[in-house]
């Protein structure tokens, strides 16, 4: 049986939230700072999350303005997260066996993000699509199929496919990068099962009365891979600071913050301290939002060597993102720590990655952020290689005796990019030809290499200052 060892200081679970002033939708302008949560703001966030479960309005930061509202009609629960006054930024519809999300991130009435998740015959399928540059075309697609029962050590097979439009700076090509993988749903770096040896039994401790669903295994002779008293205190402190991290995620990614809040407030989570040869943590993968979890329990392991390091908070958030439904879909992006899980965990942990300041803070911020919230992360302006080289201007190739203009194969164009290489507007007209088709010659040959004349993506974004 789980035991609670802390006093109920800021309100107990199930108690009625304090009456709030009438709420009004707040601006969609991204926060420029993420202040440390006070006891009052943390309590407001938890009370707001409880309100969404039972139906009603939610104000996550206690400023008296409406962040979200939930209506319940039978088995259908609809939650709207607001951007500008009266504008729905994200809509979440949850039914008994299905969840659907739609996001309009630039508030122009066009859907920029879609997610659907359903469970049929013990197989859960989740599909997400994004239009990252608001041009009406899908730029990223994720498909996740989970066979088996999710939760504590259940045998499952997770099959993932990730497609994303990417730009190659060396060649100037824009291609669709496709990655596929299949594993057992226990997300541990390098394919190693860092949940092997996770504690069992019922001798667990509650860390916080505000989160009675989150417990930690106590180290003992019977459970040597439980957590000692010092580790328990660090986990308790990490849980207390989680509101600040989720506030940071919310300033970048409405969907990820909603999934994290749902997982942290609603899912049964057991924490352990299993030694790891690679010093990485691991967690059971949960569904993204979705139907009620019932009595499922999700395991999170924090390797003992992680405690007391600069990257401890990053690891804690990283593993909780897995429980909330985010997976490593691309093995190369996982290895380079540029996928959404790694990027959000770093960005909202003080821009720490691998126990030191991230070398790519702007890219981490932009990769974590949803469309419309990437601009605060930084920007790049300069010249890029391109394969789209129209010949209706001076930068062309000349063919034959009559010097007929034909397209360059590779040219340089003026461009503006966000830190994850999302284009900002249309690229400029070709400036010069870098390569012409065989048998032709440049009319305006390039004498310079591509370069970013302005690049603020190595500066710390506001959340990390």
Q: pLDDT for 56-91, tens place per residue?
A: 888 877 777 788 899 999 889 899 998 887 789 999
- pLDDT, position 152: 67
- State which residues of the chain have pLDDT below 70: 1-51, 152-155, 185-192, 277-279, 291-293
Rounded to the nearest angstrom, the gap between the alpha carbon of residue 178 and the centroid of all alpha carbons in its chain is 19
SS3 annotation, the chain: CEEECCCCCCCCCCCCCCCCCCCEECCCCCCCCCCCCCHHHHHHHHHHHHHHHHCEEECCCCCCEECEEEEEECCEEEEEEECCCCCEEEEEEECCCEEEEEECCCCCCCCCEEEEEEEECCEEEEEEEECCCCCCCCCEEEEEEEECCCCCCCCCEEEEEEEEEEECCCCCCEEEEEEEEEECCEEEHHHCCCCCCCCCCCCEEECCCCCCCEEEEECCCCCCCCECHHHHHHHHHHHHCHHHHHHHHHHHCHHHHHHHHHHHHHCEEEEECCCCCCCCCEEECCCCCCCCCCCCEEEEECCHHHCCCCCHHHHHHHHHHHHCCCCCCCHHHHHHCCCHHHHHHHHCCCCEECCEECCCHHHHHHHHCCCCCCHHHCEEEEEEEECCCCCCCCCCEEECCCCEEECCCEEEEEEEEECCCCECCCCCCEEEEEECCCCEEECCECCCCCEEEEECCCCCCHHHC
In angstroms, the CA 356 to CA 27 distance is 34
- pLDDT, position 11: 29
- pLDDT, position 193: 72
- Across 188-226, b (16+ Cβ under 10 Å) vs e yields bbeeeebbeebbeeebbbbbbbbbebbbbbbbeeebebb
In angstroms, the CA 254 to CA 224 distance is 39
Q: pLDDT for 406-431, tens place per residue?
A: 999 999 999 999 999 999 988 999 99
- pLDDT, position 330: 86
Angle between helices 242-252 and 361-368 (to 10 degrees): 80
In angstroms, the CA 309 to CA 303 distance is 11
On whether the CB atoms of residues 73 and 81 are closer than 8 A, the answer is: no
CA distances from 293 to 118, 262, 271, 321 (A): 13, 11, 18, 16
Name the pTM for this structure: 0.84
Token pair, residue 301, equals: 């392991």
Which residues, listed in sequence order, are joined to residue 92 by a DSSP beta bridge?
79, 101
In angstroms, the CA 281 to CA 43 distance is 28
In angstroms, the CA 192 to CA 282 distance is 9
Residues 6 or more apart whose Cβ sits within 8 Å of residue 324: 256, 259, 260, 262, 263, 264, 286, 288
Token pair, residue 51, equals: 């309100």
Nearest Cα to Cα of residue 65 among 46, 79, 50, 44: 44
CA distances from 295 to 3, 213, 269 (A): 18, 10, 11
- pLDDT, position 48: 66
- pLDDT, position 201: 84
- pLDDT, position 410: 93
On whether the CB atoms of residues 141 and 160 are closer than 8 A, the answer is: no
């Amino acid at each position: 049986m789980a035991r609670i060892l802390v006093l109920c200081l800021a309100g107990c679970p199930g108690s009625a939230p304090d009456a709030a002033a009438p709420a009004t939708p707040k601006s969609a302008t991204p926060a420029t700072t993420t202040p440390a949560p006070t006891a009052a703001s943390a309590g407001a966030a938890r009370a707001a999350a409880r309100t969404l479960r039972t139906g009603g309005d939610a104000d996550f930061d206690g400023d008296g303005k409406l962040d979200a509202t939930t209506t319940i009609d039978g088995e259908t629960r609809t939650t709207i997260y607001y951007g500008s006054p009266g504008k729905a930024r994200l809509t979440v519809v949850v039914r008994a066996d299905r969840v659907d999300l739609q996001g309009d991130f630039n508030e122009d009435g066009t859907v920029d993000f879609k997610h659907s998740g359903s469970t049929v015959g013990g197989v859960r399928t989740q599909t997400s699509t994004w239009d990252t540059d608001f041009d009406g075309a899908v730029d990223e697609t994720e498909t996740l199929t989970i066979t088996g029962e999710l939760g504590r050590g259940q045998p499952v097979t997770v099959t993932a496919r990730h497609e994303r439009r990417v730009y190659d700076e060396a060649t100037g090509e824009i291609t669709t990068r496709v990655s596929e993988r299949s594993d057992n749903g226990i997300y541990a770096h390098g394919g190693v099962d860092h949940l092997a040896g996770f504690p069992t039994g019922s001798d667990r401790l509650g860390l916080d009365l505000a989160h009675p669903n989150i417990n930690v295994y106590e180290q003992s002779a019977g459970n040597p891979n439980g957590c000692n008293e010092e580790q328990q205190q660090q986990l308790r402190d990490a849980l207390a600071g989680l509101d600040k991290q989720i506030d940071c995620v919310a300033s970048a990614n409405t969907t990820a913050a909603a999934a994290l809040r749902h997982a942290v407030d609603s899912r049964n989570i057991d924490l352990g301290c299993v030694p790891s040869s690679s010093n990485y943590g691991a967690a059971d993968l949960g569904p993204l939002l979705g139907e009620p979890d019932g009595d499922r329990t999700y395991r999170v392991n924090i390797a003992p060597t992680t405690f007391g390091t600069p990257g401890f908070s990053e690891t804690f958030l990283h593993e909780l993102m897995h429980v909330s439904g985010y997976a490593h879909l691309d093995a190369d992006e996982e290895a380079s720590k540029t996928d959404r899980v790694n990027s959000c965990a770093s960005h909202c942990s003080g821009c720490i990655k691998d126990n030191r300041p991230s070398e790519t803070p702007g890219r981490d911020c932009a990769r974590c952020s949803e469309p419309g919230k990437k601009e605060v992360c930084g920007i790049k302006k300069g010249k890029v290689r391109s394969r789209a080289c129209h010949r209706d201007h001076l930068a062309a190739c000349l063919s034959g005796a009559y010097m007929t203009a034909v397209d360059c194969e590779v040219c340089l164009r003026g461009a503006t990019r966000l830190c994850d290489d999302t284009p900002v507007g249309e690229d400029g007209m070709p400036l010069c030809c870098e390569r012409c088709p065989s048998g032709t010659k440049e009319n305006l040959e390039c004498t310079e290499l591509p370069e970013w004349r302005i690049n603020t993506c190595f500066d710390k974004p506001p959340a990390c200052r």
